[in-house]
Amino acid sequence: MSNTITDTNFNFPNQKSIYKGKVREVYALENDLLVMVATDRLSAFDVVMPKGIPYKGQILNQIATKMMEATKDIVPNWLTATPDPNVAVGAACEPFMVEMVIRGYMSGHAAREYKAGRRVLCGVPMPEGMKENDKFPEPILTPATKAEQGDHDEDISREDILKRSIVSSEDYEVLEKYTKALFQRGSEIAASRGLILVDTKYEFGKTKNGKIVLIDEIHTPDSSRYFYADGYQERQDRGEAQKQLSKEFVRQWLISNDFQGLEGQTVPHMSDAYIETVSARYIELYENITGETFVKADISNIQERIEKNVLAYLNR
């Protein structure tokens, strides 16, 4: 378990600052360049777990890279290079302070809200008579405010985003359009792999020249929920849980161990054996969503490997 990367402190040439998010660490360089390192940290209920998950950062970075490549014809993105399995390099952007969450099915947070009797989520009505994991008549947008590390993301309606001037009306229309287009493309990619893209979130930023681009991750197990398409309807008809690939299995494990990130709650102990199962599930999703065998990077000294690869790229 020691061969994970949970914290970095690089000093790259022309480095201006470091931002440490829940999972990623972003190094801002001169010339409006960002170096984003995907760590092996695991976050659930907006709380970072005490142990890293082997290969998780590599998996997130490589899925996001592949998905940005597969969607760049419909939505521009920030990415220019991936010099290391855990690293993405791209254009510095001013991030919008909302996450664009889109849901095709009534699962996860939406299902928990529905079970609590609520029929409106982020200002969007949810039909009566639905059961968990049913498909919505049309995908719904349920944005969330972006939290600083340790804080909770909060649901917010389109109306409140505009009223509070978090995003301008003109920009928000672009975010909505891009979100719907990305979800449509992501759903098509998932279907080609025998999966259903249930829900996901996208983050956007604005470049120095005012262009809105996709940033951060896309269609990864941290930002998305997938079901296996085979047997989906039969499981729904029988009232059974769906077979899924996402981080939800970690959330459910935490809930079963009395943890939902609430005040006074303690993160339950994660044994090495349990962490290995989490790593295996992340690898399973990678192989299913990309259709490729996952090739494990050398993790004998991840920090040294990353520094060497990034410096070689920057020196070019």
Question: 201: closest CA among 78, 94, 109, 76?
Answer: 109
CATH code (residue 27):
3.30.200.20
Q: pLDDT tens across 277-316, in order?
A: 999 988 988 999 899 999 999 999 999 999 999 999 999 8
Residue pair 245/226 in contact by the 8 Å Cβ criterion: yes
CB-based contact 91:42 (threshold 8 Å): no
Q: Are residues 207 and 274 in the same domain?
A: no
Domain contains 61: yes
Amino acid identity of residue 56, one-letter, is K
Residues 141 and 168 in one domain: yes
Of the candidates 219, 222, 223, 218, the one whose C-alpha atom is nearest the C-alpha of residue 193 is: 219
Please choose, from the candidates 42, 58, 39, 61, the residue with its C-alpha nearest in 3D space to the C-alpha of residue 50: 42
The last residue of one of the domains, among 249, 284, 301, is 249
Residue 101 lies in a domain: yes
For residue 253, give Cα distances in angstroms to 113, 208, 237. Answer: 19, 42, 25
Q: Where residue 177 sits, what CATH number does that domain have? A: 3.30.470.20
Q: Do 103 and 89 lie in a common domain?
A: no
Per-residue pLDDT, 148: 58
Specify if 258 maps to a domain: no
48 plus 190 within the same structural domain: no
Radius of gyration of the chain (CA): 19
Specify whether 35 is located in the same domain as 168.
no
Residue where one domain finishes, among candidates 249, 277, 292: 249
Task: Check whether 123 has a pLDDT greater than 90.
Answer: yes
Instruction: Give the total number of structural domains in the chain.
Output: 2
Which pLDDT tens digit goes with each residue over 285-294? 899 989 999 9
**Stated pTM of the model:** 0.89
- Give CA separation, 288 vs 171, 190, 207, 244, in Å: 34, 9, 33, 11
Q: Are 104 and 230 within one domain?
A: yes
Does 243 fall in a domain?
yes
**Range of lowest pLDDT (41-50, 146-155, 192-201):** 146-155
87 and 99 assigned to the same domain = no
Judgement on whether residues 293 and 163 belong to the same structural domain of the protein? no
* Confidence grade of residue 21 (pLDDT, cut at 50, 70, 90): confident
Same domain, 148 and 240: yes
What is the residue range of 160's domain? Answer: 95-249
For residue 299, tell me if it sits in a domain. yes
62 falls within a domain: yes
Q: What is the pLDDT of residues 147-176, one digit of tens each?
A: 655 455 799 999 999 999 999 999 999 999
Highest averaged pLDDT of the listed ranges 59-73, 146-160, 212-226, 245-259: 59-73
In a domain, 9, yes or no: no
Residues 232 and 189 occupy one common structural domain: yes
Final residue of a domain: which of 200, 220, 249?
Answer: 249
Q: What is the DSSP string of the chain?
A: --S---------TTEEEEEE-SSEEEEEETTTEEEEEE-S--EETTEE-SS--TTHHHHHHHHHHHHHHHHTTTS-BSEEEEEETTEEEEE--EE-SEEEEEEEES-HHHHHHHHTT--EETTEE--TT--TTPEEEEEEE--EEPPPTTSPPEE--HHHHHHTTSS-HHHHHHHHHHHHHHHHHHHHHHHHTTEEEEEEEEEEEE-TTS-EEEES--S-TTTEEEEESTTHHHHHHHTPPPPEEETHHHHHHHHHTT-SS-TT--PPP--HHHHHHHHHHHHHHHHHHH-S---PPP-TTHHHHHHHHHHHHHH-
Spatial contact of 68 and 34, defined as CB atoms under 8 Å apart? no
* Residues 54 and 28 grouped into a single domain: yes
Residues 151 and 232 in one domain: yes
Look up tokens 């664009």; give the residue.
100
Residue 203 lies in a domain: yes
Taking a C-beta distance cutoff of 8 angstroms, is the pair 86, 296 a contact? no
Q: Which of 104, 178, 186, 109 is nearest to 138 (CA)?
A: 104
pLDDT value at position 252? 87
For 116, residues 6+ apart whose C-beta sits below 8 A from its C-beta are none
User: In this model, does residue 42 exceed pLDDT 80?
Assistant: yes
